Structure 1
């Protein structure tokens, strides 16, 4: 315990010295920050990690700042956000492997306690990386309008919700979602930072998930084909029934039997027309679903391509 406390004090002192050097250098390139820092010193923080650095993303909205410095922070946060996503994916794969090993191999209270401690450590790192990504994206949002970066980057670096932080084999709601409705989190479809990220374990996991996604897509396509055929047969059945009742009406001649048969024929024709009009847009929806499934397969193929 004493050793950890001494290490913490040493690291805070080292960080404090670096912050002091940063403040001296910042006063040369961002003179407007001096007034902000003086007002912040009225309530000094005893912890070095809580000191406000007044980066361009934090002051550019209300104070003039050199666009060149803001561009440097943009490039730093943009690359760091991708690094955070890569680290987040790696931790999620490690966490999934640890859960599998625990279920298959761990027995006894002692080993379960130790395993839970290791899993908690990975979960803590996942929370830290998630907070780091959100901080980077918040800085990018603050800098995008002054630097006129547009909205293209927001479709790549999307907001990270708590529901998005899930492994490859987890759906949006693992407790209620079926295998056929499971949707992959967007963090797995974002671009990789480099080829080294696709390790052997990640490559195998992505290939397994691609095979499962392809099987799900094929099953859904089969269901769509069966649905379309069933709809066609329902309409044809009503048409056939209308013909049967027309034949019975012709055979009945006149009277109540003919009136009843014609009424049944009219009912079947009404049902057939109702089915055709109600299901008029189903074919377009099925074609759109097939196109989305093909696009999903291409997206996963880009990830699994070596």
Structure 2
């Protein structure tokens, strides 16, 4: 398989960048993950401690795996919600990225099968399986892993979704991995984290606003609640502070256009919302993951500033 043909096809399907890395066993990344789990930094995300061997070795996910194809999809928009309304992270402005990216990845995999002339064995992944997405993106030459643990692309910044195809295809050449770290001595992301959840290249999910507003099933700890401000779904503080995101440009994905209800609903609007209206307004939205009851929990008290 030719890397150039892959890149051209990926761009035609709407991906902003694409690279490919040869399959390898990620022992170093597995050991770092286990140290993170041992500290309890995964909080209530028990799934992070499962299938560790599959994260380490892609061949356990796809038999005979030879390549890891990685795509980036920009989701940045300079548009922000109206003032004084509850704040969501930018990635949740539009349609759920899992749905959008999976459809595109399936089409890219179909292209690979057509070009190779054989029944390619492959699987598509979008942030919902035991895959070290950020490390594979780095190995596919798409950027480096910043101090906030997110992938930073020199052209797009960090407001990008990562899509992965693990396949048994072998390529005639592979992307050059990004061995450099262009964060330098910058610590703006670490210093910008409202709750102190960030240390260089590590996140303590117990303190992370994103974890607590989306995945935390119990009550949000007071120490986090006090620092949330207007946020009720996710947090972009570390990305907003990153100098590389000063280069971010408007995305070109129609499905990611902001939901107009989301952009203007105030706290009272949310608390008065019923399930039927929520389903109508936010069907296929990332907000459907925690659901309306949990959203109301996040908004149950006036924000502490």
* Higher-helix-fraction structure: 1
- TM-score bin (small chain): under 0.3
Structure having the larger proportion of residues in strand: 2
**TM-score normalised according to structure 2 size:** 0.21
Q: Which has the larger radius of gyration?
A: 1
